[in-house]
């Protein structure tokens, strides 16, 4: 398959490395210094040092030239970059199917990525999400990884998953686009909560309870938004939640650990140096939960901590003071 990857951050670079094994890949960067580095050194020293592009990967700085000959476009920007990239695709008249790897709700609108695609490119555009338990560093290093590919057209999901599937990066087709997107979005919020839990030294019992109750929250919101409940037991649900909440490479988990230390959010983000999507997704998650009447106490507590309305300790006390209820209610 001929694939145009738009965005040369850590994820875009890692996927270019992984997909180049069996596909013709062009990687586009809007930063000219990054593109020059990739062309001359085959290394993304600004965003992803230590990993090198195969010689077969083409690097482009011109947007239109990156799309030339492509069969599928993969947007590898943060959620905030999705709409501008789609608008750029519309401006150049691109009609190709669009995939994305960003996870979250759009700030302000609360839209999932496929809803943003619908607004910008129209309801007929073939599109889908690539999501699941995957750190860019491990994908680039060729360590075994499995993710889900969900699309608005099941046949496209199956065919594209088959084309991109490799020995090390295994891709499974899924027909629940909403569920895959909600799982990928809200797990980042729960990873912040788990970081706080671990940072406060609450123990492994507490972490396990938090993960389990957090998964229930994700499923409740997903079903309210039209997802299939069983999706949250798969790669884009439980799989991604466990990885992001417990893996040391998780940016969102690191945000939670720093909040437990009493650091300000501004300081945390400055020190992180990368986007932690859960910071921006938490507010939209809490708002959507309220709008749909979905009980999401953990996610709401994270949103309150990030907004400066509660300290990490106060949020914990609030959660522990909740009335007992039936587990499956």
Nearest to 315 by CA among 208, 202, 238: 202
**Both tokens assigned to 283:** 């507010």
* Under 8 Å between Cβ of 19 and 99: no
Which residue is listed with tokens 């150049």?
92
- Report the C-alpha gap between 15 and 132 in whole angstroms: 13
21 backbone dihedrals φ, ψ, rounded to 5° = -60, -40
Active site residue 2: no
Q: Provide CB contacts within 8 A for 37, sequence distance 6+.
A: 43, 44, 45, 46
CA dihedral (208, 110, 252, 266) in degrees, to 10, reads -130
Nearest to 63 by CA among 126, 23, 102, 6: 6
Cβ neighbour number for residue 71 with a 10 Å cutoff: 14
- Report the C-alpha gap between 93 and 88 in whole angstroms: 9
Rounded to an integer, what is the distance from CA 86 to the centroid of its chain?
17
- Report the C-alpha gap between 37 and 252 in whole angstroms: 28
Catalytic residue among 2, 167, 187, 263: 187
What DSSP string describes 73-142? EEE-S-HHHHHHHHHHHHHTT--S-EEE---SPPTTT---HHHHHHHHH-TT--EEEEESS--HHHHHTT
- Report the C-alpha gap between 315 and 321 in whole angstroms: 10
Catalytic residue numbers, as ranges: 187
């Amino acid at each position: 398959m001929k694939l145009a990857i738009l965005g040369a951050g850590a994820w875009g670079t890692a996927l270019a490395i992984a997909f180049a094994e069996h596909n013709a890949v062009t990687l586009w960067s809007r930063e000219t210094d990054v593109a020059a580095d990739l062309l001359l050194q085959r290394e993304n020293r600004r965003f992803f040092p230590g990993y090198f592009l195969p010689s077969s990967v083409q690097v482009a700085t011109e947007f239109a030239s990156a799309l030339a000959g492509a069969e599928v476009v993969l947007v590898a920007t943060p959620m905030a970059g999705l709409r501008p990239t789609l608008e750029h695709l519309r401006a150049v008249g691109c009609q190709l199917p669009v995939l994305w790897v960003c996870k979250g709700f759009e700030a302000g609108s609360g839209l999932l990525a496929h809803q943003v695609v619908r607004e910008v490119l129209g309801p007929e555009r073939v599109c889908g999400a690539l999501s699941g338990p995957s750190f860019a560093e491990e994908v680039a290093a060729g360590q075994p990884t499995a993710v889900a590919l969900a699309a608005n057209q099941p046949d496209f999901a199956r065919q594209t998953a088959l084309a991109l599937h490799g020995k090390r990066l295994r891709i499974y087709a899924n027909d629940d686009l909403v569920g895959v997107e909600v799982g990928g979005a809200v797990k980042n919020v729960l990873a912040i909560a788990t970081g706080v839990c671990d940072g406060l030294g609450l123990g492994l019992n507490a972490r396990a309870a938090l993960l389990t109750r957090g998964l229930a929250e994700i499923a409740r919101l997903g079903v309210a938004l039209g997802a299939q409940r069983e999706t949250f037991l798969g790669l884009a649900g439980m799989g991604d939640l466990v990885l992001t909440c417990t893996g040391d490479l998780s940016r969102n988990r690191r945000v939670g650990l720093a909040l437990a230390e009493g650091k300000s959010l501004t300081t945390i983000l400055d020190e992180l140096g990368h986007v932690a999507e859960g910071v921006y997704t938490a507010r939209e998650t809490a708002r959507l939960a309220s709008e749909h009447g979905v009980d999401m106490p953990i996610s709401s507590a994270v949103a309150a901590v990030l907004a400066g309305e509660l300290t990490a300790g106060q949020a914990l006390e609030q959660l522990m003071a909740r009335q007992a209820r039936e587990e499956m209610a």
